[in-house]
Structure 1
Amino acid sequence: MPYLMNCWYVAAWASEVSTGELFPRTLLDQKVVIYRDNEGVAHALLDRCPHRFVPLSSGSLCDGGRSIQCNYHGLQFNQSGQCVHNPHGDGKIPAAARVKTFPLVEKHNCLWIWMGDQDKADPALITDFSCMDREHFYVGEGYLYAKANYVLESDNILDLSHIEFLHPGTLGSDAVKDSVTEVKQDGDTVWSMRQTNNEILPDFLYQAWGIEHGKRVDRWIDVRWDAPANMLLISGATPTGQPRENGIETLIPHIFTPETAHSTHYWFGMSFPKAIGPHAQQLADEQVANLSVPFETEDLPMLEAQQDNMGDSDFWENKPVLLIGDAGAIRARRTLDKLIKAENAAT
């Protein structure tokens, strides 16, 4: 499957990778090993020894976390992928004894990896998720593994007309179908926005937002998409007829990185400003735990069934019937296709 290579993908929550441990993960069909040295700085290498091709992640860290030792024949590779120790014979290191490395940046509470041309890996290109910076926010962290293509996952977030039918007891209501929708694009950033007026929310949302049960509200769900599949969902509600600033709003990142053409790593979170007080960390963790239930028990089975039905066929080859709610997802798909085509043409 063609991927957009010259961009930043999330490889892990920063908290997933601990100092002194080797953390394997498959990203864009490539096996990668991530680790932190003794100073806590994270590094990423191809998870494959060039000698007999075994996973380096089955080895161990040595030299103060500055190198990985393969547990098959003892070769050691430093953070730049160069073999620095050969325990055999006269110890001469073969010129080809090196491992591919990947630029890795810790930012916005995530580890971001660049799988393309290393000389183009500019950290300034990382999508803005400053709402996940733990210096200013309490962040709840969620992770799911989906047996579905990552663009299908993006479609699901960009077209939230499904929440009335797939999540009737938690996130949707019978007013969603009457939402006012708008799609706009700023450069390669796509916005898919949905406004529902005079709505009675499901109990789940009244409780989550601390709104008086049964009170009619105007609800908005705005989704910002940046390639390849980095989304920020801005959701809130205000008493019907009142401006947004009189209501409550939550920021929910949804970030997808393909494992393979048919499987996806899914990170989602919840952020609350530290000004709210330290109890907000517990609130963020609880909200993520609550959201993971409909995500895991309703969204994932539907998307995995969709993937199973599509098999290896291309989305466009299936000639999908398009509805008004598809506008944002289709705009994002066409933007991603354009970026991949331009990248391939340049190389």
Structure 2
Amino acid sequence: MPFLRNAWYVAAWSRELNAQEPVQRTLLGESIVFFRDSRGAGVALSNRCPHRFAPLSGGKVRGDAIECPYHGLRFDRTGQCVHNPHGDGRIPPAARAASYPLMERYGAVWIWMGEPERAHAVALPSFDYLDERHHETSSGYLLTKAHYQLSADNLLDLSHFQFLHPQTLGSEQMAANGAATFEQAGDTVWSRRLCRGERLQAFVGSAYGMPAGTAVDRRLNVRWNAPGLLSIEVGVAPAGMPPECGRVSFSGHFLTPETEASTHYFFAFGLPKAMGEAARTLVEYAVHGLMTPFKQEDLPMLEAQQRALGGGDFWAANPVMLSIDGAAIRARRIMEHKLADELKLRQAAAIPIECRSRTATHA
């Protein structure tokens, strides 16, 4: 399955990039090198020198350019070679590496790997709780050996908590006492679940200020936007009490394909600084505590699914669908439409202008 290219993907957390050492990451099947220039601005280039194809990530950052480790050619943020240390120093016109638009928001570096002129026309969905000016945030990263849409399926259906996480995130009441609804608004998909009278595991309950053994009502709201940008709101309150009597947590989950069978999973939690020191404690607890079940329980399951599918198409495997799959199906259909539209654009761009005119005349 091809990747959607005209979209913003998280490439790294902002803290990962610096002006001293380049960072390499494979995204959408392509090797990319990242660094910061002398002004601190992020740069993303194809990780292949156009001379002898050496990986630029093995070189050094030299001011506003990166130096190839093989023959010393240097490339600026546009990918143009700006220094040739050999002979008369003449720079061949073709000495250029592909460059990619970047932006930094919500503590992350976002990359656009499609048509550059379309980048500014696509806005990011809101993750305001990760705005570090007003929120305490904590973030993490995992590499998942599975297709990114399997990870999206997982996050859009949290009913698996009871069965995959019985001793951690789940409860015995989740399936019997939970009601799920799904909604699509344009290209946004919502999955909402309300579980009444749950008795949470102690370490989960304590994160929401609930004494051990307290019966609670837990709501889990998941928002999905293409290609794999998810926001999760979890609210916990004493059973039968209004939601405002409890505590709410927010987390962002960003799925960026590495290859067709592996995914960069970036996740972050944020709480208002107005909460004081408790906000810092809770977001760090969330990343190091609440995400542990994902690493130890979800990742092995996702990777087992990927092995079962092999390189085959998801729908070609004839999956049996249940009522709990409503949101995941909607997300997959939206992606299919977006991929089809993008393919049409590429095909139209590949037709010479005179042929397009002739086709339009005969239409």
Question: TM-score per shorter chain, which class?
Answer: over 0.9
Residue 218 of structure 1 corresponds to 217
Per-residue deviation, 1:204? 2.2
Amino acid at match of 1:261: E
- 1:279 Cα deviation after fit: 4.5
Aligned to 2:79: 81
Which whole-Å CA distance do the structure 2 matches of 1:310 and 1:159 have between them? 19
Opposite residue 203 of structure 2, the aligned amino acid is F
Q: Would the aligned equivalents of 2:22 and 2:60 in 1 still touch at CA under 8 Å?
A: yes
Q: Calculate the TM-score normalised by the size of structure 2.
A: 0.93
2:228 alignment partner AA = A
**1:1-347, aligned counterparts within 5 Å?**
1-62=1-62, 64=63, 66-122=64-120, 125-178=123-176, 179-347=178-346
Residue 124 (structure 1) shift: 5.5
Q: Which has the larger radius of gyration?
A: 2
**Aligned residue type for 2:56:** L
Greater CA drift, 153-162 or 173-182: 173-182
Query: Per-residue deviation at 1:209?
Result: 1.2
Counterpart residue type for residue 141 of structure 2: Y
Post-superposition Cα deviations, 1:70-99, rounded to whole Å, max 9, x if no partner, equal: 010111111111011111111111110001
AA paired with 1:119?
E
Q: How far 1:324 moved relative to its partner?
A: 1.2
Deviations 1:138-179 (Å, cap 9, x if unpaired)? 111111011000000000000111110110111101111131
Structure 1's 266 and 77: CA in aligned 2 closer, same or farther, altered over 3 A?
same
Hey, what's the Cα distance between the residues in 2 that align with 1:328 and 1:3?
Answer: 20
Q: How many residues align?
A: 345
The Cα offsets for residues 289-330 of structure 1, whole Å up to 9 and x where unpaired, read as: 002310111000010011011100100001101111111111
In 2, distance between residues paired with 1:32 and 1:249? Answer: 37
**Structure 1 pair 339–188 and aligned structure 2 pair: CA distance change class (3 A):** same
CA distance in 1, matches of 2:44, 2:325: 37
Percent identical residues? 47
Gaps of 5+ in 2: 347-363
Q: Which amino acid aligns with 2:74?
A: Q
Which residue number corresponds to residue 350 of structure 2? Answer: none
User: Match of 2:357?
Assistant: none
State the AA in 1 paired with 2:328. A
Alpha carbons 2:12, 2:110 under 8 Å: kept: yes
Determine if contact 1:169/1:203 at 8 Å carries over to the other structure: no
Give the Cα separation in 2 of the matches to 1:8 and 1:335: 16
Q: CA RMSD in A?
A: 1.1
Relative distance call for 1:248 and 1:4 in structure 2 (3 A) is: same
CA contact (8 A) 2:10 2:256 kept: yes
CA contact (8 A) 2:204 2:290 kept: no
Deviation per CA, 1:180-216, whole angstroms, max 9, x where unpaired?
Answer: 1111111100001111111111212112112122111
Larger displacement relative to structure 2 (276-285 or 334-343): 276-285
Runs ≥4 in structure 1, deviation > 3 angstroms? none
Q: CA 1:278/1:207 → structure 2, altered by over 3 Å: closer, same or farther? A: closer
- Return 117-126 or 318-327, whichever deviates more: 117-126
